[in-house]
């Protein structure tokens, strides 16, 4: 029969493979038994701190018709003429990165007479200037200059136009 040689051949192959798998060398008793050094992990990359939230306070709001190079009002005023520019100097202190500071002029009837946004980047005391003009002249009456920081009212200053 031909099946017997196939069995024998298969058994011989299986036995040869089994013996080949067991043909590993025993560990050398004289070899160093000191474990291989453990790799030191690379240091973690330096983390850049997240930007701190804005911590800016408005310390003063001053009005006038012009500001100096230091962005301060040399001659503060609370009464303006209809054709005067209204210059608002906002003194701030603190840390800010791309914080919106918005100046808003509000007429006595509640209507917005002018609005001007600016972005603030600072790490200390600073003055920001906003200049409001009106081609038709300001209507006489009572006004309020409001200063908003990141959408929240920070300070206001009353003034009049005569």
> DSSP assignment of 71-118, as one string?
S-BSS--SEE-TT--EEEEEEEEEEEEEEEEEEEEEETTS-EEEEEEE
Instruction: Yes or no: say if 62 and 89 are a contact pair by the CB < 8 Å rule.
Output: yes
Does the residue 114 lie in any domain?
A: yes
Q: Which domain holds residue 71?
A: 55-161
Does the residue 38 lie in any domain?
A: no
Q: For the whole prediction, is pTM greater than 0.85?
A: no
Does the residue 84 lie in any domain?
A: yes
Number of structural domains (the chain) is 1
Q: What is the CATH number for 157?
A: 2.60.40.10
**Per-residue pLDDT in tens (0 to 9) along the chain, 162 residues:** 455 555 555 555 655 555 555 555 555 555 555 555 665 566 655 555 444 455 899 999 999 999 999 999 999 999 999 999 999 999 999 998 999 999 999 999 999 999 999 999 999 999 999 999 999 999 999 999 999 999 999 999 999 999
Does the residue 104 lie in any domain?
A: yes
Does the residue 156 lie in any domain?
A: yes
In 3-state terms, what secondary structure has residue 148? strand
């Amino acid at each position: 029969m031909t099946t017997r040689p196939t069995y024998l051949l298969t058994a011989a192959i299986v036995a040869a493979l089994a013996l080949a798998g067991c043909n590993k060398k025993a560990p050398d008793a004289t070899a160093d038994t000191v474990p291989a050094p453990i790799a030191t992990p690379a240091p973690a990359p330096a983390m850049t701190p997240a930007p701190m939230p804005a911590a800016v306070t408005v310390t003063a709001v001053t009005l006038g018709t012009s500001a100096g190079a230091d962005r301060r009002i040399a001659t503060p005023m609370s009464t303006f003429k209809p054709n005067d520019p209204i210059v608002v100097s906002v003194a701030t202190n603190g840390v800010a990165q791309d914080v919106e500071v918005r100046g808003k002029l509000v007429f006595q009837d509640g209507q917005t007479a002018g609005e001007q946004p600016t972005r603030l980047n600072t790490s200390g005391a600073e003055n920001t200037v906003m200049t409001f003009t009106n081609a038709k002249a300001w209507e006489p009456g009572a006004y309020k200059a409001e200063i908003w920081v990141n959408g929240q009212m920070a300070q206001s200053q009353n003034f009049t136009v005569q």
